[in-house]
């Protein structure tokens, strides 16, 4: 047995693919290191710095010696702040032992699926979807079941959701506002989904609300659990509400996520966490405590910038023949259809047969990195993150326009 084949890897890994967004970001970085002027629109990471008062809270924690293990599921102070955040922002009440703090929102999601899925259990996922949902389901030995949606709202019709549910269905995963589409679902739209779920008591809801504070055009965010409340308190009580500090507070690298939901599920998630990573970073927890308890005035100014960027990118893309870009209501992504470019030929004589081909062409010919829609379960589309500077967005859209104009 050679070094390359020992130790033998788990068979479950055969089902899991590398994150396409991270792969493209890595390739863009490598090309940039090789001297290419790559403009990356692939990463879902705000370009704004972590606010100073949050950083100062971390420095203070270090100086105070708060650098040791904490409780596995979060410090009492941070859990209390999360409890108050859910009450204040979302109208949701959770007991202290129904809240968990983890190493990023991704760990919250992973722990929930690992704690609740048995082999063959099904999880309904709305397409387009964040790339990690389906692979986390597979790692937990579950089976992802996809409900397709269409532009411009990318909303799952209740009858389509109904048709996807079977006796083996254990979860519906929703993400509002959405990554990758930026779609925003209203309270009434979410309530309509809750009406379907009320007829299926074996189905719980995993509501990923990480982009909650990034909404535009007067859209008022309402948590799924709150929207479900009037329709079915039972559905509300079967909902795990997931959030975190990464996007709103520009704290992607600090790795803190949190959730509130059914106590027995949250306790099981904490058990898994205790035997995997143990507690999240003590210093990061102190920083997020400041984020959740101190004024958030900076968010309004940042959302003005995000909306300006969104409006520019949508207008620029819609001026390009072959692209159709709906105006998203939240998050910091646009998700244009590129159906009009499929079948065209590059100057080198290569045929664009898919959105993956188009993304590769953009990287090579325009030196612009985007993520193809196939990564999110919907084609032919591609995702652009406008969480970068106005200057980069202007340059990137000009380059894309010039590259597309060369197709025949």
Answer yes or no: do 217 and 287 share one domain.
Answer: yes
User: What's the chain's length in residues?
Assistant: 408
pLDDT of residue 88: 98
Q: What is the CATH number of the domain that holds 186?
A: 3.40.640.10
One-character DSSP codes across 223-279: -HHHHHHHH-HHHHHTEEEEEESTTTTT-GGG--EEEE--HHHHHHHHHHHHTTT-S
Predicted local confidence at residue 8, as pLDDT:
84
Residue at which a domain ends, from 293, 328, 347? 293
Residue 322, H or E segment:
none
Six token digits for residue 10: 């788990």
What is the reported pLDDT for 11?
Answer: 86
Spatial distance between the Cα atoms of 135 and 303, rounded to a whole number of angstroms: 31
Q: Are 147 and 211 found together in one domain?
A: yes
Q: Are residues 270 and 199 part of one domain?
A: yes
Side-chain-side CA neighbours of residue 88 (13 Å): 8
Q: Are residues 7 and 154 in the same domain?
A: no
Residue written as tokens 């790795």? 255
User: Which residue ranges in the chain fall short of pLDDT 50?
Assistant: none
Q: In terms of residue numbers, what domain contains 364?
A: 3-49+298-405
Same domain, 142 and 164: yes
CATH of the domain at 355: 3.90.1150.10
Question: Do residues 260 and 313 share a domain?
Answer: no
Do 218 and 157 reside in the same domain of the chain?
yes
Q: What is the pLDDT, as a whole number, of residue 29?
A: 80
Cα 203 to the center of its chain, rounded Å: 21
**Pair 44, 59 in one domain:** no
pLDDT score recorded for residue 33: 87
Domain boundary among 269, 293, 317: 293
Q: What is the pLDDT of residue 21?
A: 67
Q: Do 69 and 20 share a domain, yes or no?
A: no
Residue where a domain terminates, one of 270, 293, 316: 293
Q: What is the pLDDT of residue 73?
A: 98
Residue 408 to residue 211: CA distance in whole angstroms: 38
* Claim to verify: residue 135 and residue 266 sit in the same structural domain: yes
pLDDT at 3: 60
Domain count, the chain: 2
């Amino acid at each position: 047995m050679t070094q390359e084949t020992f130790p033998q890897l788990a068979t479950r890994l055969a089902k899991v693919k590398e994150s396409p967004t991270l792969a493209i970001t890595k390739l863009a970085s490598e090309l940039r290191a090789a001297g290419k002027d790559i403009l990356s629109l692939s990463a879902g990471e705000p370009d704004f710095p972590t606010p100073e008062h949050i950083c100062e809270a971390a420095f203070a924690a270090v100086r105070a010696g708060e650098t040791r293990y904490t409780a596995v599921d979060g410090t009492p102070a941070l859990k209390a702040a999360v409890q108050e955040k859910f009450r204040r922002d979302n109208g949701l009440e959770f007991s202290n032992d129904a809240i968990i703090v983890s190493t990023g929102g991704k760990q919250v999601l992973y722990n929930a699926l690992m704690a609740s899925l048995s082999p063959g259990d099904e999880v309904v996922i709305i397409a387009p979807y964040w790339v990690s949902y389906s692979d986390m389901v597979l790692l937990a030995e579950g089976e992802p079941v996809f409900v397709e949606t269409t532009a411009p709202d990318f909303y799952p019709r209740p009858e389509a959701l109904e048709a996807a549910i079977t006796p083996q269905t254990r979860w519906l995963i929703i993400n509002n506002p959405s990554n990758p589409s930026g779609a925003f679902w209203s309270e009434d739209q979410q309530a309509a989904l809750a009406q379907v779920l009320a007829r299926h008591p074996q189905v719980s809801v995993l509501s990923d609300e990480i982009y909650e504070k990034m909404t535009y055009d007067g859209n008022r965010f309402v948590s799924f659990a709150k929207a479900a409340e009037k329709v079915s308190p039972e559905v509300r009580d079967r909902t795990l509400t997931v959030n975190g500090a990464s996007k709103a507070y520009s704290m992607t690298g600090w790795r803190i996520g949190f959730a509130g939901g059914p106590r027995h599920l949250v306790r099981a998630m904490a058990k898994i966490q205790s035997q995997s990573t143990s507690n999240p970073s003590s210093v990061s927890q102190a920083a997020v405590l400041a984020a959740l308890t101190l004024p958030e005035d900076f968010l309004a100014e940042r959302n003005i910038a995000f909306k300006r960027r969104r409006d520019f990118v949508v207008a620029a893309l819609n001026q390009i023949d072959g692209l159709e870009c709906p105006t998203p209501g939240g998050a910091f992504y646009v998700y244009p259809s590129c159906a009009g470019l499929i079948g065209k030929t590059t100057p080198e004589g290569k045929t664009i047969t898919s959105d993956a081909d188009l993304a590769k062409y953009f990287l090579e010919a325009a030196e612009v990195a985007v993520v193809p829609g196939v990564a999110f379960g919907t084609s032919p589309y591609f995702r652009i993150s406008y969480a970068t500077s106005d200057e980069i967005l202007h340059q990137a859209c000009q380059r894309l326009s010039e590259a597309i104009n060369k197709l025949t």
